[in-house]
């Protein structure tokens, strides 16, 4: 299994729209990785779930339906990273095994995700060990940022990997390992490179099916990306720079993954009264970000028209034919639409996925051409 790109996406409306509107050529080159948001008390109080005797089950039913409806890729990953490892739905089935069963039942090819940090929980182990899988199923072993620090204790790290592979009764060739750095806004490129080089060295002896690396460079709050209101700036996509650097002079089969245009640490259910308008436009190795001002001030929500004009009039804009997201940015610049926050997550994410697929393909083409010249 070797997709061009693995976008790690929250299973939410904006991301579903981004995937549903993705060009087929891009859908076929990605394997989306869905983070299932935790079912909260605030959700429980919504009208849709208020009278349900099985609200958690109905929530997962709704999410699985949206995933299967929006996803045109040949396979997916999904994880319950925010959930307790011993969490069950009202019928007594573990949340992970239930979701896996629902998604595969809809016709999707699902590669389960195993959390290194959660493996010690017996309920979690039992749920994953008893999944009904086909012979062509891979398991993704997710090494989160805290566990990456533990990897410098090599004996402990290797023993833990061996325990997980053995516990699942798998061969190394059935494992995809994901080094997930999460929020990398406080990490330097040098330290990320050093960590990845160390990790790749450790796992090289295992001959896993694939190795992936992921990170998120976009900050949690907009003023950490663009200092001043009503201005533009750039945010370096450190995970992409590191991936390219690692592959520049090596034969690593390293799959690129990232968190799209969101920061994984950002809170989901907090309504920011003074949220600023913003458009995050992915370019080579960076985000070009147009920031507005508080939606309580001045032209309020209509500021998005001006922000869209900034993107369209920039040298970075690729035109409405490039992606659905680009088309919507142009429409907004002409005041044909305004869009809700979740709509802009969809537009920005759709452009991001489309761009990253092209960026990875172009990098690989240039690398192959250089090697051909050296022969």
**Which of 196-200, 220-224, 247-251 reaches the highest mean pLDDT?**
196-200
Tell me if 289 sits within 8 A of 233, measured CB to CB: yes
Reported as a pLDDT band with limits 50, 70 and 90, residue 270 is low
First to last CA, the chain: 28
Cβ-proximal residues to 173 (8 Å cutoff; 6+ apart), any chain = 207, 208, 209
Range 235-239, long-range pairs (CB < 8 A, 24+ positions): 235/286, 235/287, 235/289, 236/285, 236/286, 237/282, 237/285, 237/286, 237/287, 238/184, 238/187, 238/188, 238/189, 238/192, 239/181, 239/184, 239/192, 239/213, 239/214, 239/215
Strand 286-294 relative to strand 276-283, pairing: antiparallel
Return mean pLDDT, the chain.
Answer: 95
In the chain, the percentage of residues whose pLDDT exceeds 70 is 98
Q: Give mean pLDDT, residues 144-150.
A: 92
Q: Quick one: DSSP state of residue 149?
A: H
| CATH number belonging to domain 5-374 | 3.20.20
pLDDT of residue 298: 79
pLDDT of residue 374: 77
Q: Give mean pLDDT, residues 254-276.
A: 84
What is the C-alpha to C-alpha distance for residues 109 and 322, in angstroms, rounded to an integer? 28
What is the C-alpha to C-alpha distance for residues 249 and 242, in angstroms, rounded to an integer? 12
* Closest C-alpha to 263, from 227, 215, 229: 215
pLDDT over threshold 90, residue 122: yes
Reported as a pLDDT band with limits 50, 70 and 90, residue 268 is low
Reported as a pLDDT band with limits 50, 70 and 90, residue 250 is confident
Cβ-proximal residues to 190 (8 Å cutoff; 6+ apart), any chain = none
* Closest C-alpha to 93, from 39, 143, 57: 57
pLDDT over threshold 90, residue 261: yes
Reported as a pLDDT band with limits 50, 70 and 90, residue 269 is low
Tell me if 329 sits within 8 A of 312, measured CB to CB: yes
Higher pLDDT, 322 or 265: 322
Reduced DSSP (H G I as helix, E B as strand, rest coil) percent helix, strand, coil of the chain, to 5: 45, 20, 35
| Model confidence pLDDT, tens digit, residues 167-192 | 999 999 999 999 999 999 999 999 99
pLDDT of residue 23: 98
pLDDT over threshold 90, residue 373: no
What does the H/E/C string look like for 260-325?
CCCCCCCCCCCCCCCCEEEEEEEECCEEEEEEEEECCCCCHHHHHHHHHHHHHCCCCCCCCCCCHH
pLDDT of residue 233: 98
Q: C-alpha angle with apex 190: 186 to 193, nearest 5 degrees?
A: 105
* Closest C-alpha to 326, from 346, 341, 303: 346
Reported as a pLDDT band with limits 50, 70 and 90, residue 296 is confident
pLDDT of residue 206: 95
pLDDT over threshold 80, residue 273: no
The number of angstroms, rounded, from the C-alpha of 3 to the middle of its chain's C-alpha atoms is 14
pLDDT of residue 271: 63
In the chain, the percentage of residues whose pLDDT exceeds 90 is 89
Cβ-proximal residues to 275 (8 Å cutoff; 6+ apart), any chain = 294, 295, 341
What is the C-alpha to C-alpha distance for residues 1 and 342, in angstroms, rounded to an integer? 32
Count of other CB atoms within 10 angstroms of residue 331: 16
Q: Give mean pLDDT, residues 124-136.
A: 97
Side-chain-side CA neighbours of 225 within 13 Å: the count stands at 30
Q: Give mean pLDDT, residues 196-224.
A: 96
Give the orientation angle of helix 95-105 with respect to helix 55-70, to 10 degrees.
40
pLDDT over threshold 80, residue 375: no
pTM score, two decimals?
Answer: 0.96
């Amino acid at each position: 299994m070797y997709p061009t790109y693995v976008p790690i996406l929250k299973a939410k409306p904006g991301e579903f729209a981004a995937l549903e509107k993705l060009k087929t050529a891009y859908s076929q080159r990605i394997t989306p990785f869905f983070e299932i948001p935790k079912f909260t008390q605030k959700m429980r109080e919504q009208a849709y779930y208020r009278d349900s005797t099985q609200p958690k089950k109905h929530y997962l039913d709704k999410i699985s339906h949206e995933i299967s409806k929006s996803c045109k890729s040949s396979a997916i990953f999904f994880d319950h990273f925010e959930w307790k490892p011993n969490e069950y739905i009202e019928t007594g089935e573990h949340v992970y095994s239930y979701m896996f069963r629902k998604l595969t039942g809809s016709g999707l090819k699902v590669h389960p995700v195993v959390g290194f940090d959660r493996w010690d929980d017996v309920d979690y182990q039992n749920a994953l060990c008893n999944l009904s899988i086909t012979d062509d199923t891979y398991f993704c072993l997710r090494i989160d940022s805290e566990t990456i620090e533990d990897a410098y204790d090599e004996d402990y790290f290797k023993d833990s990997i061996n325990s997980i592979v053995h516990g699942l009764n798998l061969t190394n060739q059935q494992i995809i390992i994901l080094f997930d750095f999460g929020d990398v806004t406080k990490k330097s490129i040098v330290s990320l490179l050093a960590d990845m080089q160390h990790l790749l060295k450790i796992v090289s002896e295992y001959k896993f099916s694939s190795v992936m690396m992921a990170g998120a460079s976009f900050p949690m709050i907009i003023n950490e990306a663009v200092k001043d209101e009503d201005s533009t700036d750039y945010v370096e996509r450190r995970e992409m720079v590191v991936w390219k650097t690692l592959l520049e002079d090596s034969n690593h089969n390293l799959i690129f993954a990232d968190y799209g245009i969101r920061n994984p640490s950002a809170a989901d259910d907090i309504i920011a009264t003074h949220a600023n308008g913003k458009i995050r436009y992915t370019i080579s190795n960076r985000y070009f970000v147009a920031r507005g001002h508080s939606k309580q001030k001045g032209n309020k929500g209509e500021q998005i028209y001006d922000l869209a004009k900034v993107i369209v009039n920039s040298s970075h804009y690729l035109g409405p034919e490039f992606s659905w997201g680009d088309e919507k940015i142009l429409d907004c610049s002409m005041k044909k639409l305004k869009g809700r926050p979740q709509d802009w997550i969809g537009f920005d994410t759709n452009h991001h996925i489309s761009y990253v697929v092209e960026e990875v393909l172009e990098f690989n083409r240039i690398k192959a051409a250089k090697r051909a010249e050296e022969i």
